[in-house]
Homo-oligomer: A and B are copies of this chain.
Amino acid sequence: MKVAKFGGSSVASAEQIEKVANIIKTDLQKKFIVVSAPGKRHKSDQKMTDMFIQLWKASQQKASLEPFIDPIIKRFTEIVEQLSLSFTIVGEIKQSINKLLHMEEAPIRKLDALKAIGEDSSAKILSAYLTSIGLEARYVNPREAGVMVSDEPGNGKILPESFEMIYKLRSTKGISVIPGFFGYTNDGKLITFSRGGSDITGSIIAAGIKADLYENYTDVDSVYAVNPSIVDNPKKITTLTYKEMRELSYAGFSVFHDEALIPAYREKIPVCIKNTNNPQATGTFIVSEKKPSEKCVVGIASDTGFCSIYISKYLMNREIGFGRKVLSILEEESISFEHAPSGIDDLSIIIREKHLPLEKEKQVLERIQKELCPDLISIHRNLAMIMIVGEGLVRTIGVAKKATSAISSANVNIEMINQGSSEVSMMFGIIADDLEKAVQSLYNAFFVK
């Protein structure tokens, strides 16, 4: 039994929906289908969800709403028309929108309900189309499916009791098409997940029904071993572990909405990233465990936008709680940090620059200076992080040598190395300007030579 989730680009147009139907038709194991709202059909196109957000904003400003409703209806009409489906679907969508706009409800709840129409309509259209081509398919509302969430508009969290309810879906006959992105509170209020939440729904359904596989259809053939904007035609990754995926996605690999995989991860459901536009491609599997292989490095991720605070104090390591106090100051100032490697008399704190805006920098440095009296405190901006990722990497002699040699031979200085804290990765900090040449050299060393 499989769960297949189709992202925005996979349901962006009638042509795309036909491809989705074809994929479903050829594999009857795909019994549970989760869909996003229609995404972009081309670069300058709008995502349906953004159109709904604009409509909501206009309604808050008491602006004229037709200019916002009309394009939504037009787009659904085109899809329904091209798929030769009944126009009653479009009528229902129109009705839902109008009903919502005139409802007495807190604005934030109205926003959630409006945004959800995109996914909801996608699911209705797809199930109607699957029926029209002779498959036994049915639209299943998230409430009926059992997707129960906490009452946090725009940021719902799945309730643990959901999974038991979802498990009962297993006995459903035919194909269930479930809209992603939203669920319901215990007292029936519609709540969306955070952005990108269709991945969350897919993962929840897969975990709930204890699927054999969770297929996640996007518009790429696979996850690549390195960022294709840095290296041309990089190798495809066929199998990744969850941990490897996490490490890669930390530093620039944005295949997945970060928290989306938790439910699948907990149930150890294998995930496969596939391409709706090229379903023959094997895709990339994400699994709990894999056999150790000789080539232990699976990918090289990289990201810019980091800075570091460097603190030095003679005999720091004798001052019990020094590190904890620094981290407490950051916590009190609501600055989340990435890492805090320490030396004997030194401590570095790596922070994403967006979390330490210039206006906060002064206050944080002053507090550290005043409360902990270091000998030296300095801040370095414009850093990049490179992650070399692979299970078994820590137990393979020579990986560090290969990596440091590759970076040196690109004539790049290594500002920071963090190895051993993670079982599956090795992290290097460099000056952001050197990022491309360092990554290219690393890719050559681990994947080409």
- Tell me if A161 is interfacial: C-beta within 8 Å of chain B: no
Task: Select the stretch in A49-57, A145-153, A229-237, A322-330 that faces chain B.
Answer: A322-330
- Are B338 and A422 in contact, CB atoms less than 8 angstroms apart? no
Q: Indicate whether A344 sits within 8 Å of B246 (C-beta atoms), given known contacts A320-B336, A400-B404, A420-B429.
A: yes
- Assuming A327-B327, A400-B417, what are 8 further A-B pairs, CB within 8 angstroms? A243-B345, A246-B345, A317-B338, A338-B342, A341-B341, A343-B421, A395-B413, A401-B407
CA separation between A318 and B400, bound complex, in Å? 27
Output the least CB separation between A302 and chain B (Å). 14
Task: Select the stretch in A136-144, A271-279, A307-315 that faces chain B.
Answer: A307-315
Q: Provide a sorted-by-A list of 13 A–B residue pairs whose CB atoms are within 8 angstroms.
A: A246-B344, A308-B420, A312-B423, A320-B331, A324-B328, A341-B418, A343-B418, A344-B422, A397-B412, A401-B407, A403-B404, A405-B405, A415-B420
- Tell me if A366 is interfacial: C-beta within 8 Å of chain B: no
CA separation between A347 and B420, bound complex, in Å? 9
- Tell me if A425 is interfacial: C-beta within 8 Å of chain B: yes
Output the least CB separation between A411 and chain B (Å). 6
- Are B420 and A341 in contact, CB atoms less than 8 angstroms apart? yes
CA separation between A424 and B394, bound complex, in Å? 25
Chain B proximity mask over A402-437: 1 for CB below 8 Å, otherwise 0 = 011101100111111111111111110100000000
What are the 3 closest A-B residue pairs judged by CB atoms, nearest first?
A: A343-B422, A416-B420, A341-B421
Contact of A344 among B247, B323, B328, B429 (CB under 8 A): B247
